[in-house]
Amino acid sequence: MSYSLAVGMQVHVKVSYVDAAGNPAVVDGDVTWSSSDDTVAAVFVSSNDSTEAVIRPVGPVGQVQILATADADLGAGVRELVTPMDVTIVAGEAMSGAIEPTGPAEPIPSK
């Protein structure tokens, strides 16, 4: 999935799992979350449910990949299941403007 998130905003996300037939499935233990670049966006995991998190921009505009990692093996051992989400941090709503010259001053043309 790809998502655009404006600076100054945050988004709540939830990861869910399915089996090969598309049926809801459970994973073993807690889900861990990470950001490919913590200087652009950070992930804050819910204290109540590790399948839920908040993505929050923390730096400049840019792109990050958010990963939710879980143990798909419900028995002994670990089979890592990684679920990615591509997030583009974009500029927020315009708050002010600036008018600047686009070149040097010039004489007014004669008629």
pTM, two decimal places:
0.80
> Does residue 29 belong to any structural domain of this protein?
yes
> Does residue 110 belong to any structural domain of this protein?
no
Overall average pLDDT of the 8-31 stretch: 92
Q: Is the pLDDT of residue 73 over 90?
A: no
d(CA 59, CA 96): 20
Domain that residue 56 falls in = 2-90
CATH of the domain at 40: 2.60.40.1080
> Does residue 98 belong to any structural domain of this protein?
no
d(CA 15, CA 52): 7
